[in-house]
Structure 1
Amino acid sequence: MVDKVALIIGAGSGIGGAVAAEFASHGYTVCVVRRTDQAKLDELVKKISGDGGSARAYLLDATDDKSVERLVDEIEGQVGPIAFACYNLGANMGVRNIQNTRTDTFEKAFKLGAVGAFLLAKHVSKYMVPRAEGTIVFTSATASVRGNAGHHAHAAAMMARRGVAMSLNHELRSHGIHVCHVIVDGVVDSPDTLGKFFPEAFQSLKAKLDPRQGMLKPVDLAKTYWHLHTQSRTCWTFELDVSPWVENPWFNSPRASL
């Protein structure tokens, strides 16, 4: 058993992977989770291990209650106490007008956005509350506060995630649990985010903005997550809005809401 465990649900080449690497660099055993793609998880574990950290990989449907419960119980019983939990799954279904949005697509977004977030918090808080310590961070998006055209499924999902986080903040903080909602208000330099839905636009923006540091860098954002986890209880942050210093006209257009 180890002393400190960080659980990251939604660990890829972007924010999740960077958060895992950051916590591993501080001596945490990181448990990285994806729904699919064992090879990508193994690659992340290999990289963290190569840098001197400790990591374990798990495949999981984060919207399935029993699966999340089993994973949390397994980690707590076989790895160590979960001190930090991050829900980093996206819920972007792409730009779709309402007539072209299937009901099951809308429901899938909502499950990824809100149900999975609720399940992670439910099962990790079962262990955190008796210890009177722990951090739960929800990675969120501009869509949690603004619903752009064509993003009704994403906006509904992320606004619900914000509501879950807000309610849990009031419920759990008096038990020593720090709950934080991080609004990522910008283009993230990762093919797992914008590049998944708009690959051509992503490459164009990357080429244009990188020289001016106009994209959010996952490695820099991960440092912010570490800061949130180590904040004094006398000044906990509930909601944090992060964005790059360069305004991006494409991102602020009705086409995009990440």
Structure 2
Amino acid sequence: MEKPRYRSALIVGAGPGLSASLARLFHRNGLTVALAARRTDKLAPLATETGASVHQCNAVDANDVAALFQAVEAKNGAPDVVVYNASARVRGALIDLPPEEVRQAMEVSAFGAFLVSQQAARRMLPHGHGAILLSGATAGVKGFPLSASFALGKFALRGLAQSMARELSPKGLHVAHFVIDGGIRSASRPVPSDAPDSLLDPDAIAETYWAVLQQHRSAWSWEVEVRPWVEKF
């Protein structure tokens, strides 16, 4: 059974953690990598490690996103794997939330994903090949107290992914939404010594993304949940 072959990846919302793990994994598997973020000052070491190009982009600005894809296309060719890994939130009681900050959080978590997916699909559809991967969260299936803005954005992201999968999958594009159900391990958030593997390992999450990319089109997943073995759900 022939597995899909991908050539070029774009990660939007790049930074440490999952994005870095994805960049390294894509690079090891022979893909050229492009990294995009609103702030790029901390991406130089990762770019050096993975040979990635770095691009500044405000994902909620349609002109910025269009320019990003033009720049990546000019350097690496049109990406056939696009990952949207940007999100934002403002915590607080519903009655105290600043409306403008909530709007901005929703735009980053969901509207930016729409803009990026639109540009990606326009380039993938003529070839009938490509994958759009959207990084979701528990908040996309379960709204928590004091987290209305995150629930708004992530529920919208999940709905976008489901709609896109139903529209684009029959045309050869693999759309997948990942529910990351739990905290992700990082340098600032180490795994407690008395609770091994209680946080998600970003390298392990990246391997799951890659496994989905390798699925044969006769058995595509549009959504995958990942959580630590001790996480309640």
TM-score (normalizing by structure 1)? 0.84
Gaps of 5+ in 1: 49-53, 196-201, 253-258
Q: Quote the RMSD (CA, aligned, Å).
A: 1.6
CA distance in 2, matches of 1:84, 1:128: 9
Indicate the SS of the match to 1:247: coil
- Runs of 4+ in structure 1 off by over 4 angstroms are none
Q: Percent identity?
A: 31
**Is the contact between residue 4 and residue 80 of structure 1 (CA under 8 Å) also seen in structure 2?**
no
CA distance in 2, matches of 1:173, 1:225: 17
**Structure 1 residue 208, shift from structure 2 partner:** 4.2
* Aligned partner of 1:244 among 188, 204, 228: 228
Indicate the SS of the match to 1:39: coil
User: Aligned pair 1:59/2:56, yes or no?
Assistant: yes
How many residues are treated as equivalent by the alignment? 228
User: Aligned pair 1:18/2:21, yes or no?
Assistant: yes
Higher helix residue share: 1
Alignment map for 1:77-226 (pairs within 5 Å): 77-93=74-90, 95-190=91-186, 202=189, 206-208=191-193, 212-226=196-210
User: Aligned pair 1:75/2:60, yes or no?
Assistant: no
The corresponding residue for 1:255 is none
Indicate the SS of the match to 2:82: strand
**Is the contact between residue 89 and residue 102 of structure 2 (CA under 8 Å) also seen in structure 1?**
no
Gaps of 5+ in 2: 1-5
CA distance in 2, matches of 1:33, 1:226: 19
TM-score (normalizing by structure 2)? 0.93
